């Protein structure tokens, strides 16, 4: 008991001693807190009061500079332009409506701007700047800057805006940018904070959209101190953003301009490709539109004009337009039969003008028939019966296999919007999609590129490249990213028999250069620039028995949308293929009349650095050619001979 | 225990107990909570919802709880210490493991009227456990290594569980609170010196290894530490809040801008303005006078507890009182250092002022224990 007492007393002493030490430390720390409070609230009160009252620290995101887009020679296609604008910050302005009224007295802003700004400011956080008006003149922006003290919450600002100096030439290839929409944000899982910046532009279509990740860059930020009237006092810290990567496309700006101008007035598409390495040199789709309209926010009137146009200016016909390839498909059918060993190059078929199969009569375009036809003559004169005949022997599956081998029915991985896959039909496909058996008539139709077969101008250009080189060349649109050349796989041989390919190539040469060839009227005189090609005319309607008996309507007598599509594919120079081309003129009539002349002009432009050499035309054609070329609306003519310094 | 039984007749009984409650302490607590309610009213823009009303209800509930606990003899609570500790550890385990798989990563248990965070409960349960442990342990054994290791393990178990949540603030409070109880019980100075030296040494070694071949942490881990130590390097996150918090505090000046007149507080710059950063509103609106008054009230609570512990000859009681007071101290010391930019931002609320049910109820329960020890002290 006594021992316990003593023990307890001793323990209580220890605790008391330590409790005093601890209590002292705690109160000491409380004293330290008091001193800190005193220091902040009394000694430094003025400074903090100023920070709180007159100065506010603003954290602002610095939008990154978007990467530029150049053509293959370093000519800019998409640039950034200084854009002067006025923004309003609700928490600085107090009464936004009153602030805008004061602004209206200084610079011209519309009621529409005011209404939109009021809506935006109400929707966003108080400290987010909202654009009142942009693309202001220098005088206007200076007036705002000078009057800043009288305009609390309104800040002059300079931003960057996309500009497309080539106007409509690259509308379909490069596309355009526009302000981030709620729809854009909803599509992203983890949106970049920079997208919250009002008026921040992101790619909407084409290369701008598909390569957004490369082009955008990374946002920086800056901490700035501003006083009560919104003047920036000083910058406290600044982290620079990262400029987006510059892109260099494979497209040649001059050739693109020429092709686009040559197609003016037509609803048509042209694709020019380097058939050796796959570089896409021109992708012209007509009619086009000015992408700069979209950057600014297109008016509904302008948009209505674009959507109501029956020539569909908004559609990119080069990659998303799908057409029956017509006679340009005959090389595929021929090669399929030759490679299968079922037909020899010199084997002939008799063409009486029609062929009966599966109880139906299939007509050749030439009513009287072509007589005895071998591969060379059938391709040169585009005899249909020859292909009806051999297609029955080789069958649809072999034809489709060859079509895919030559690059049809495949979606190419190029950064453009809505790249179409096309259609190379098989029996299984018809079973599944049409719930019907494959009929012999389907094979016959497919053999001349009609029926179910569909291809885009891009695919036709790839097909022609492969026919010209015998390799599996694939198309490329991006030459370099951030100065680094993009790797291109070396094209590999398709493994086609040399004599078969040569037979087809010789026939294609004859199409353009033999007196009886369907494109002889669009021949080239210069031996080094001669074209090998194939015309095509694809029907968009069925010709009834009654009409055939009465006499088939000529295209000129039909309404535009029922006329045939005109096609031409070709490569040049015929002896040493360098360029491949495909031309589709929607409802243009016959391929030899509507498409081949375009192909000749564009091909000669490709080989003549953006402008055809008149001497290459046959003497009899030169006068008309000169007249035609002089009438083209080219961007800068004559082409300036300045050395290119920009890269 | 026998000692208490001998003195039992001197302990007041029945309603007379109410007279022996430390009423000054009750008064101080009510004053502190009143300040808290006023600030919650202000940050809500002059409204009783959404914070004042539930907070007031919980305060009344907490006061009732405090008095119930105070009326129960302290030796009952001492006998309950082991159970309270075990129960809290089990609850922590429950939210850690069951919570993740079964309840979707919850850190709380729904009691119907409020959500209880076991980590808050742990703060008081740990103090009880350690106080009971040292009450039981012979004084001469206190500094022997084995008997030092045991309470260290008792502290580390809940700390590890809480760190896994992860809740750095609570972990710091548990380690420091537990360490303080050990210190009070008379564990030799050298242990504390050694721990502090070892900690400093480890930190130094880790930093010294940076950039060398034998680097102990990965580069990104170092960068995280940088951000933690220097929030200004993360201007979009914590750094911005601290800057604005300091401006609010400093701009209060001597007497503040007046109730509901703080401009900084109106700017919505702090997502936690009603919880962890509520002190900035007080300092801005009532200035140095207001901020110091709250600190003085807190100091008053500490002094009353110290006095109560000094006169109490029961070892469990004095350790418990000082332990609860130390936990209370750590709450406001860490919180105030944080908002004044003296410490990195860790989630620790301002005790009895910040909005939040668990912390307030647990603290009031803790003061219930303090009152019980005070009422039932040996005379």
Contact B129/B174 with Cβ under 8 angstroms? no
More reliable by pLDDT, A477 or A54: A477
B136 in contact with A at a CB cutoff of 8 Å? no
- The pLDDT of residue A478 is 95
In angstroms, the CA A269 to CA A280 distance is: 14
- A420, pLDDT greater than 80: yes
- B9, pLDDT greater than 60: no
- B307, pLDDT greater than 60: yes
Residue ranges of chain A whose CB lies within 8 Å of a chain B CB: 4, 7-12, 14-16, 18-20, 22-23, 26-27, 29-30, 33-34, 36-38, 40-42, 44-45, 47-49, 51-53, 57, 59, 91, 126, 221, 223, 237, 239
In angstroms, the CA B294 to CA A60 distance is: 36
**Cα distance from N-terminal residue to C-terminal residue, chain B:** 15
Mean pLDDT score, A433-455: 92
Q: Give the residues across from A423 on adjacent strands.
A: A454
Helices B315-339 & B168-185, crossing angle to 10 degrees?
140
CB-CB neighbors (< 8 A) of A30 in chain B: 295, 298-299, 302, 333
Does the residue B312 lie in any domain? yes
The continuous run of DSSP H or E covering A571 comes out as strand A565-572
In angstroms, the CA B210 to CA B229 distance is: 16
Choice among A161, A286, A327, A417 that is catalytic: A327
Q: Give pLDDT tens digits for B256-302.
A: 877 877 666 555 555 567 888 889 889 888 999 999 999 999 999 99
In angstroms, the CA A591 to CA A460 distance is: 14
- A155, pLDDT greater than 50: yes
Cβ partners under 8 Å of residue A314, min gap 6: A289, A306, A307
- A642, pLDDT greater than 50: no
Which of B236-250, B261-275, B339-353 has the least mean pLDDT? B261-275
Overall residue count recorded for chain B in this entry = 379
Q: Give pLDDT tens digits for A327-356.
A: 999 999 999 999 999 999 999 999 999 999
Does the residue B119 lie in any domain? yes
- B27, pLDDT greater than 90: yes
- If phi > 0 it is left, if psi is from -120 to 50 it is alpha, else beta; for residue A589 that is left
Q: Which residues of A316-348 are buried (b: 16+ CB within 10 A; e: fewer)?
A: bbbbbbbbbbbbbbbbbbbbbbbbbeebebeeb
- The pLDDT of residue B100 is 47
B235, B298, B313 ranked by CB distance to A223: nearest: B235
Pairing of strands A154-163, A76-89: antiparallel
Overall residue count recorded for chain A in this entry = 647
Token readout for A278 is: 């796959």
- The pLDDT of residue B103 is 42
Q: Give pLDDT tens digits for A76-114.
A: 999 998 888 888 888 777 788 888 888 888 888 888 888
Which of A1-5, B107-111, B356-360 has the least mean pLDDT? A1-5
DSSP string, B112-137: SSSEE-HHHHHHHHHHHHHHHHHHHS
- If phi > 0 it is left, if psi is from -120 to 50 it is alpha, else beta; for residue A135 that is left
Whether residue A573 has a cis bond before it, omega within 30° of 0:
yes
What dihedral do alpha carbons B269, B271, B277, B280 form, nearest 10°? 20
CB-CB under 8 Å, A41 with B184: no
* Residue B19 pLDDT class (50, 70, 90 cuts): confident
Cβ partners under 8 Å of residue B177, min gap 6: B123, B126, B127, B323, B326, B327, B330
B5 in contact with A at a CB cutoff of 8 Å? no
- The pLDDT of residue A58 is 67
- B337, pLDDT greater than 80: yes
- A641, pLDDT greater than 60: no
CB-CB under 8 Å, A37 with B295: yes
Residue in A408, A318, A338 with CA at minimum distance from that of residue A378:
A338
Mean pLDDT score, A427-451: 91
Question: How far does the CA of residue B13 sit from the closest CA of chain A (Å)?
Answer: 25
Question: How far does the CA of residue B266 sit from the closest CA of chain A (Å)?
Answer: 11
Residues within 8 A of A (CB atoms), B 211-240 only = 235-236, 240
CB-CB neighbors (< 8 A) of A37 in chain B: 249, 283, 288, 291-292, 295, 340
Question: How far does the CA of residue A281 sit from the closest CA of chain B (Å)?
Answer: 46
Closest Cα in chain B to A52: B247
Does the residue B191 lie in any domain? no
Q: Give pLDDT tens digits for B69-81.
A: 999 999 899 999 9
Helix (H, G, I), strand (E, B) or coil at B50: coil
CB-CB under 8 Å, B283 with A37: yes
CB-CB under 8 Å, A23 with B302: yes
Q: What is the DSSP letter of A65?
A: P
Angle at A478 between CA A472 and CA A482, to 5 degrees: 140
Residue in B167, B97, B173 with CA at minimum distance from that of residue B366:
B173
Does the residue B197 lie in any domain? no
- A481, pLDDT greater than 90: yes
A19, A27, A221 ranked by CB distance to B322: nearest: A19
Helix (H, G, I), strand (E, B) or coil at B154: helix
Total domains, chain B: 1
Q: Give pLDDT tens digits for A222-260.
A: 777 665 445 566 677 778 788 899 999 999 999 999 999
* Residue A125 pLDDT class (50, 70, 90 cuts): low
What dihedral do alpha carbons B351, B357, B358, B361 form, nearest 10°? 70
Task: For A369-435, give the secondary structure using H, E and C.
Answer: CCEEECHHHHHHHCCHHHHHHHHHHHCHHHHHHHHHHCCCCCCCCCCCCCCCCCECCCHHHHHHHHC
CB-CB under 8 Å, B240 with A15: no
- The pLDDT of residue A639 is 46
- The pLDDT of residue B105 is 42
* Residue A638 pLDDT class (50, 70, 90 cuts): low
- A552, pLDDT greater than 90: no
- The pLDDT of residue B102 is 41
Mean pLDDT score, A41-56: 73
DSSP string, A257-287: HHHHHHTTTS-EEEEEEETTT-BEEEEEEES
Contact B372/B337 with Cβ under 8 angstroms? no
The number of beta carbons lying within 10 Å of the beta carbon of residue A437 is: 9
Residues within 8 A of A (CB atoms), B 137-156 only = 138-139
In angstroms, the CA A130 to CA B101 distance is: 45
* Residue B94 pLDDT class (50, 70, 90 cuts): confident
* Residue A8 pLDDT class (50, 70, 90 cuts): low
Q: Give pLDDT tens digits for B181-193.
A: 999 998 988 999 9
Percent of chain B exceeding pLDDT 90 equals 43
B191 in contact with A at a CB cutoff of 8 Å? no
pTM of the model: 0.60
User: In the predicted model, what is the mean pLDDT of chain A?
Assistant: 87
The number of beta carbons lying within 10 Å of the beta carbon of residue A389 is: 24
B293 in contact with A at a CB cutoff of 8 Å? no
* Residue B303 pLDDT class (50, 70, 90 cuts): very high
- The pLDDT of residue A186 is 73
- A643, pLDDT greater than 50: no
- Residue A285 is among the residues annotated as catalytic for this protein: no
- The pLDDT of residue B150 is 93
State which residues form the domain around B291.
16-185+217-375
Cβ partners under 8 Å of residue B79, min gap 6: none
CB-CB neighbors (< 8 A) of A42 in chain B: 253-254, 288
Does the residue B133 lie in any domain? yes
Residue in B224, B287, B359, B275 with CA at minimum distance from that of residue B40:
B275
Helix (H, G, I), strand (E, B) or coil at A78: strand
Which of A157-161, A514-518, B103-107, B353-357 has the least mean pLDDT? B103-107
Mean pLDDT score, A637-645: 48
In angstroms, the CA A58 to CA B143 distance is: 56
Does the residue B37 lie in any domain? yes
- The pLDDT of residue B264 is 62
Does the residue B7 lie in any domain? no
Strands (E), A477-564: 478-481, 484-485, 532-538
Cβ partners under 8 Å of residue B351, min gap 6: B32, B298, B328, B331, B332, B335, B359, B360, B363
Angle at A250 between CA A246 and CA A255, to 5 degrees: 120
CB-CB under 8 Å, B243 with A57: yes
B283, B310, B318 ranked by CB distance to A41: nearest: B283
Contact B285/B259 with Cβ under 8 angstroms? yes
- The pLDDT of residue B108 is 66
B158 in contact with A at a CB cutoff of 8 Å? no
Could you tell me how many CB contacts below 8 A there are between chain A and chain B?
136
A7, A19, A53 ranked by CB distance to B309: nearest: A19
Contact A306/A314 with Cβ under 8 angstroms? yes
Closest Cα in chain A to B336: A33
B243, B250, B295 ranked by CB distance to A40: nearest: B250
Give how far Cα A421 sits from Cα of A336, A445, B8, Å: 21, 20, 94
Contact A108/A186 with Cβ under 8 angstroms? no
A16, A45, A239 ranked by CB distance to B250: nearest: A45
B316 in contact with A at a CB cutoff of 8 Å? no
B253 in contact with A at a CB cutoff of 8 Å? yes
- The pLDDT of residue A253 is 94
More reliable by pLDDT, A270 or A140: A270
Percent of chain A exceeding pLDDT 90 equals 56
Token pair 């700390």 is found at: B159
Mean pLDDT score, B302-313: 92
- The pLDDT of residue B2 is 42
Does the residue B33 lie in any domain? yes
* Residue A10 pLDDT class (50, 70, 90 cuts): confident
């Amino acid at each position: 008991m006594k021992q316990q007492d003593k023990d307890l007393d001793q323990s209580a002493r220890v605790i008391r001693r330590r409790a005093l030490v601890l209590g002292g430390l705690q109160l000491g720390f409380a004293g330290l807190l008091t001193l800190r409070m005193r220091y902040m609230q009394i000694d430094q009160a003025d400074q903090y009061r100023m920070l709180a009252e007159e100065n506010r620290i603003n954290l602002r995101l610095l939008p990154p500079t978007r990467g530029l887009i150049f053509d293959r020679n370093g000519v800019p296609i998409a640039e950034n332009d200084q854009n002067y604008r006025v923004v309003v910050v609700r928490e600085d302005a107090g009464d936004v409506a009153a602030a805008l009224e004061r602004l209206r007295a200084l610079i011209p802003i519309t009621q529409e701007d005011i209404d939109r700004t009021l809506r935006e400011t109400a929707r966003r956080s108080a400290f987010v700047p909202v654009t009142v008006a942009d693309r202001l003149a220098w005088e206007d922006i200076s007036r705002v800057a000078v009057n800043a003290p009288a305009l609390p919450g309104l800040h002059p600002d300079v931003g960057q805006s996309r500009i497309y100096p080539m106007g409509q030439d690259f509308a379909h290839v490069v596309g355009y940018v526009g302000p981030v929409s709620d729809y854009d944000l909803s599509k992203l899982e983890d949106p970049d904070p920079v997208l919250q910046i009002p008026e921040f532009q992101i790619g909407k279509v084409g290369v701008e959209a598909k390569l957004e990740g490369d082009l955008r860059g990374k946002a920086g930020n800056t901490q700035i101190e501003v006083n009560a009237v919104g003047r920036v006092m000083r910058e406290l810290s600044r982290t620079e953003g990262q400029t987006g990567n510059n892109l260099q496309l494979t497209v040649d700006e001059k050739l693109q301009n020429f092709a686009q101008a040559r197609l003016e007035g037509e609803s048509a598409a042209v694709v020019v490709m380097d058939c050796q390495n796959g570089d896409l040199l021109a992708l012209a789709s007509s009619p086009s539109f000015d992408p700069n309209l979209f950057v600014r926010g297109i008016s509904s009137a302008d948009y209505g004009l674009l959507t109501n146009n029956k020539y569909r200016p908004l559609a990119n016909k080069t990659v998303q337009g799908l057409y029956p390839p017509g006679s340009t498909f005959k090389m595929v059918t021929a090669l399929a039969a030759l490679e299968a060993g079922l037909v020899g190059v010199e084997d002939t078929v008799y063409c009486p003008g029609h062929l009966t199969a599966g109880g139906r009569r299939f007509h050749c375009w030439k009513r009287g028939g072509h007589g005895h036809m071998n591969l060379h003559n059938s391709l040169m004169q585009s005899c249909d019966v020859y292909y009806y005949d051999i297609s029955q022997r080789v069958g649809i599956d072999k034809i489709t296999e060859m079509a895919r081998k030559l690059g049809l029915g495949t979606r190419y991985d190029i950064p453009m919007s809505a790249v179409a896959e096309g259609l190379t039909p098989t029996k299984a496909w018809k079973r599944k999609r049409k719930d019907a058996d494959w009929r012999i008539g389907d094979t016959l139709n497919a053999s001349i590129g009609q029926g179910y077969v569909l291809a885009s101008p891009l695919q036709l250009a790839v097909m022609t490249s492969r026919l010209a080189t015998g390799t599996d060349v694939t198309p490329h649109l991006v030459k370099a990213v951030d100065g680094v050349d993009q790797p291109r796989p070396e094209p590999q041989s398709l493994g086609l028999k040399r004599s078969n390919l040569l037979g087809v190539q010789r026939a294609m040469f004859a199409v353009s250069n033999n007196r009886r060839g369907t494109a002889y009227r669009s021949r080239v005189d210069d031996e080094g620039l001669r074209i090998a090609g194939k015309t095509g005319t694809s029907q968009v309607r069925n010709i009834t028995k009654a009409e055939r008996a009465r006499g088939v309507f000529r295209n000129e007598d039909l309404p535009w949308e029922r006329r045939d599509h005109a096609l031409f594919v070709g490569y040049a120079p015929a002896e040493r293929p360098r360029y491949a081309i495909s031309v589709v003129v929607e409802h243009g009539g016959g391929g030899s009349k509507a498409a081949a002349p375009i192909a000749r002009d564009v091909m000669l432009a490709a080989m003549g650095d953006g402008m055809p050499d008149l001497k290459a035309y046959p003497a009899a054609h030169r006068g008309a050619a000169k007249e035609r070329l002089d009438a083209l609306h080219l961007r800068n003519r004559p082409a300036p001979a300045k050395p290119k310094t920009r890269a | 225990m026998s000692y208490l039984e001998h003195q039992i007749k001197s302990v007041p009984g029945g309603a007379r107990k109410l007279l022996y409650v430390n009423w000054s302490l009750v008064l101080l607590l009510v004053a502190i909570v009143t300040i808290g309610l006023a600030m919650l009213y202000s940050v809500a823009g002059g409204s009783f919802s959404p914070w004042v009303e539930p907070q007031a209800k919980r305060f009344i509930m907490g006061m009732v709880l405090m008095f119930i606990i105070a009326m129960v003899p302290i030796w009952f609570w001492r006998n309950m210490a082991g159970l309270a500790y075990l129960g809290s550890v089990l609850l922590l385990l429950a939210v850690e493991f069951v919570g993740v798989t079964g309840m979707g990563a919850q850190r709380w248990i729904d009691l119907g009227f409020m959500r209880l965070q076991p980590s808050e409960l742990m703060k008081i349960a740990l103090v009880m456990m350690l106080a009971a442990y040292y009450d039981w342990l012979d004084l001469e054994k206190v500094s022997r290594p084995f008997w030092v290791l045991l309470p260290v393990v008792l502290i580390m178990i809940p700390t590890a569980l809480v760190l896994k949540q992860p809740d750095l603030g609570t972990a710091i409070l548990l380690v420091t609170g537990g360490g303080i109880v050990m210190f009070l019980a008379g564990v030799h100075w050298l242990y504390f010196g050694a721990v502090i030296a070892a900690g400093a040494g480890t930190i130094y070694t880790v930093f010294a290894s940076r950039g060398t071949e034998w680097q102990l942490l990965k580069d990104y881990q170092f960068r995280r530490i940088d951000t933690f130590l220097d929030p200004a390097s993360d201007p979009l996150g914590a750094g911005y809040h601290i800057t604005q918090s300091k401006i609010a505090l400093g701009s209060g000046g001597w007497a503040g801008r007046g109730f509901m007149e703080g401009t900084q507080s109106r700017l919505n710059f702090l997502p936690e303005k009603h919880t962890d950063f509520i002190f900035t509103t007080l300092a801005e609106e009532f200035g140095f006078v207001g901020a110091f008054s709250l600190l003085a009230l807190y100091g008053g609570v500490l002094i009353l507890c110290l006095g109560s512990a000094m006169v109490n000859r029961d070892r469990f009681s004095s350790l418990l009182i000082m332990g609860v007071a130390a936990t209370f101290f750590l709450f406001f010391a860490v919180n105030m250092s944080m908002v004044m930019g003296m410490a990195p931002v860790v989630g620790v609320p301002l005790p009895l002022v910040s909005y939040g049910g668990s912390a307030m109820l647990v603290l009031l329960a803790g003061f219930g224990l303090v009152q019980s020890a005070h009422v039932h002290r040996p005379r």
